[in-house]
Structure 1
């Protein structure tokens, strides 16, 4: 019988994995100034994290089937701590990039085994609720990260990295002590001796394009693209265009992330039961697009806070709706779809910040105009396709 502490620890670890992605965002302007770097570097700092996460996630999933979930989770937490320590010691941009690449590997080692662990310990009738909590911890970690990073920066630009490394080590110790292995020794032995050859991730993506749930995977990409597009360049945008301080950015993101998460917990289940997942997905995509563009209309602090709050809320409600509908559409292909969900999330994390940084160098407004355009097109496309390919009862 697994300990009751397993599930909270899994949520904490998932939260930390995504917290690390957003932690660096509010201190990017100061880091770039210290290292004499351009705005493109801001996007690349976020993108390189997603790159190694994308490349190593399939390997982590395979290793967790062969050697167990716990060793991979512990490895991911250790890499998480090492990544943040390297960032704290970085005196140039190169070492900072190395730390982000290692952080992506750590996230890859954490996320697939955690998802598989929850599938191991939950019954079918309770898995949807468990995955909803897991989705909330993922989204909250990434959205809260910038706020936490900005507040900790009050004690020095490297303080967020030191604190994050300490929390990672603490989570490692807690997991070593309180997280039992979910796979039996017999299942792990069978996994190590299995001769089945699995397709590499690029082949799997090619197969997913022809699947009936491709439109949902496209939504996952667009949602992640829009969120990382927004966050990667947000500090630079509000500093250079509106004159915000690091403290103002931190307070704004902290308040908005808290309200966005609270709205997710209070509203998601109610509005989904009333309108259904397909309508919620389309509506949240369109509203997210509108909120991105609205960010350009005024530089008043509380206006920007209100628009950001709405954007986070729409994104927080969107992810659980996608995960629920995807699990219904997957049928007997739950493992493949979960892997593709993570792969398309990583792709969004790679290309969203990268393009945001490039567009920001062309014109300050372009990242949000283009991000809004991507979300708008995806919303229109998914609105015409979801009802055709997934659930007839929601048509």
Structure 2
């Protein structure tokens, strides 16, 4: 299916890219106190990562089509390490925001080429399994990030950033040495000679609304919106409402993410083959919405843990199913469609945390209710439009 040397490296690299997004979340309360910042800054800090990820993702996908997947992956890992090093050295909130912006560029350079890489070297009948593993590394990185950040913070609030920078550099060295290029030199040369001019990101987003991929991209946005909406204010919520400690939050996120990832690997193929992609997508969105609402019912630690396990499981199953459908629909433009996939993910990362921070100022439970509403609407829309959209793709 995949070169043995490539597959684990791709999984590790995808894990690291998403790890950086969530790493800062559990230490946000302490960072805000250290820099004398307001509560809304928590949402903006997470959103800033998504902003540059959104702006640069389509460019990264196009460049990977023309110049190869490996150069973009290496570039993304370098920027990933620089971002975390700057965050570790930050003495004020401004430099911390700069580090997050650079991290978003690194994620944009890394994620679309990895998705396109797997699409390059897998047949359609093997792609679902490959995307399932890739989705596991993607969602577990994003979800485990807060857990690791919280545990490492016991050795110092900046320790998560130092550790992440070192791991990023190690992954870059391993990829430089052990990751083969998936596109042949002839294909890269041909695509460079075409000199095709791509529309800017905003024009691409506007055109995507009328594309055959739109319903899938909309689901990508909704799923990411719900997840980041949840994570951006989760530490503030459980500290203020339930009285959880930083250590409890770290353990909670780590355990729940591992269970969610395990459930994804065990269940995704089975339920997709039995019920089909369309039903799985609609039901996972609905169940994610329900679990967000149930999180408000009790502050019992083990009750919260159980609800979070379910929420992460539903989100983990969603990602590979959607990625598989997108990659099958992309044809020869794997890098471009992967870039659009990441762009819609970035939009969710921008607006989810930003709105969660604003709503949190009005009422601590309001972000979860609104996030559930977005997921519920997306489930209803997917039931009505996904079948029609996929039929249009086939024709």
Equivalent residue number for residue 161 of structure 1: 161
Count of aligned positions: 391
- Superposition deviation, residue 235 in structure 1: 0.5
State the partner residue of 2:117. Answer: 117
Deviation at 1:133, TM superposition (A): 1.8
Moved more, 181-190 or 171-180: 181-190
Match for residue 191 of structure 2? Answer: 191
Of residues 178-187 and 261-270 in structure 1, the stretch that sits farther from structure 2 once superposed is 178-187
Structure 1 partner of 2:79 = 79
Q: 2: distance between equivalents of 1:120 and 1:148?
A: 32
Partner of 1:274: 274
Deviation per CA, 1:27-81: give whole Å up to 9, x if none.
1111111111112111111111011011111222222233322222111111111
| TM-score normalised by L of structure 1 | 0.94
Q: Matches of residues 1-395 of structure 1 in structure 2 within 5 Å? A: 4-330=4-330, 334-390=334-390
Deviation at 1:83, TM superposition (A): 0.6
Change in 2 beyond 3 A, CA 1:124/1:324: closer
CA distance in structure 2 between the aligned counterparts of 1:119 and 1:384, rounded to whole angstroms: 28
Comparing 2-11 with 322-331, which one deviates more in the overlay? 322-331
State the Cα deviation string for residues 312-361 of structure 1 (Å, max 9, x = none).
01111111222233344556665543332221111111100110011111
For structure 1, which segment, 181-190 or 143-152, has the greater mean C-alpha deviation from structure 2 after superposition? 181-190
**Residues 126-183 of structure 1, C-alpha deviation per residue, up to 9 Å, x if partnerless?**
2332222222211111111111111111111111111101100111111111112233
CA-to-partner distance for each residue in 1:251-302, whole Å, 9 max, x for gaps?
0001100110011111111112221111111111111111111111111111
Work out the CA distance in 2 between the residues paired with 1:214 and 1:63.
22
Question: 1:344-394 CA deviation, whole Å, 9 max, x = no partner?
Answer: 1111111001100111111111111110111111111212222333259xx
SS at match of 2:131: helix
Residue 119 of structure 2 contacts residue 127 of structure 2 at CA under 8 Å; is this kept in 1? yes
Tell me how far apart the structure 1 counterparts of residues 104 and 194 of structure 2 sit (CA, whole Å).
28
SS at match of 1:241: helix
Bigger mean CA offset, 263-272 vs 316-325: 316-325
In structure 2, stretches of 5+ residues that fail to align are: none
Supply the distance in 2 between the matched residues of 1:298 and 1:10 (Cα, whole angstroms). Answer: 39
CA contact (8 A) 2:53 2:105 kept: yes
Measured in 1, the distance between the counterparts of 2:243 and 2:254 equals 18
- Pairwise CA distance, 1:234: 0.3
1:105-133: CA deviations, max 9, x gaps? 11111112222222333334423322222
**Distance in 2 of aligned mates of 1:190 and 1:139:** 35
Q: Give the TM-score normalised by the residue count of structure 2.
A: 0.94
Moved more, 63-72 or 364-373: 63-72
- Distance verdict in 2 for CA 1:134–1:203, change over 3 Å: same
Take 1:326 and 1:119, find their aligned partners in 2: how far apart are those partners? 10
Where in structure 1 are there 5+ consecutive unaligned residues?
none
Give distance in 1, aligned partners of 2:4 and 2:331.
29
